[in-house]
Amino acid sequence: MYDEDEKTLAIDFLYLDLSVCTRCQDSETNLDASLQTLVDILGNIGHKVTLNKIFIETEEQAIKHQFISSPTIRINGRDIQMNVKESYCETCSSLTNNASINCRTWKFKGEEYSAPPQALIIDAALNEIYRGKDVEKSDTTKEQKFNLPDNLKGYFSNKDQLCANTNKPPETTDSCCESKGCC
C-alpha cells in the first residue's frame, strides 16, 4: 500500500522466463524505460520508486505470489491491469514442448499489445500515487483461497517433465529446454 509518509512506490515485476520469452523480455524493457521516466518525475516531488523482479520458477512460488499470468506488473500490490487476457505464446511454448502455453496481452487505449506500453505503466504508477493515499487496500484475493490457473499448471507440469528428462533442476535460471538443445 502507498505510504504517504514514506512516499514509496513499490513495483513488482513477476515473470516466467527472461532467457527465451519475448513477451517477458519486452515487458522488462518497457518497464525499465518507464522507471527512468518515473524516477525523474517522482523524485522531483519527493517520492521513491523501488523495483522487485520476481522470477516465478515453481508452482509453489506462483501460488505464494498469487501469480495469475506472465508477465505481471503490480504497483503497491495491485496489478496494473486487472482484466487478464492471454494469447498463444510461441516462445513459452518452446520452453515446455507444449503448443498451448498462453501469456498475457495488454490492452491500452483500445489497442492490444504483447508487452505493456510505457504509457500504460507510467499511467498506472501516477494513478497509484494520486489515489493511493485515499484508498484502503481492497484486495480480496488475500481473503480467498488462491487457485493457480490451469494454463500455469500446465506450464509448470510440462517444464518439470522436460527438466526431469534432462536431469537438470527446474529451479535453474536458464531454461531446461536450453540444456536439451530444443530451443
**CATH number of residue 58's parent domain:** 3.40.30.10
The reply to whether 117 falls in a domain is yes
pLDDT, one tens digit per residue, over 91-133 is 888 887 766 889 999 999 999 999 999 999 999 999 998 886 5
Which range of residues forms the domain containing residue 31?
8-134+146-180
CA–CA gap between residue 109 and residue 1 (Å, rounded)? 26
The reply to whether 139 falls in a domain is no
The reply to whether 3 falls in a domain is no
The reply to whether 157 falls in a domain is yes
CA–CA gap between residue 131 and residue 24 (Å, rounded)? 28
pTM of the model: 0.81
In 3D, which of 111, 145, 122 has the Cα closest to residue 32? Answer: 122
The reply to whether 37 falls in a domain is yes
Average pLDDT over residues 52-74: 96
The reply to whether 80 falls in a domain is yes
The reply to whether 140 falls in a domain is no
The reply to whether 141 falls in a domain is no
Number of structural domains in the chain: 1
Q: All 3 cell numbers of residue 165? A: 528428462
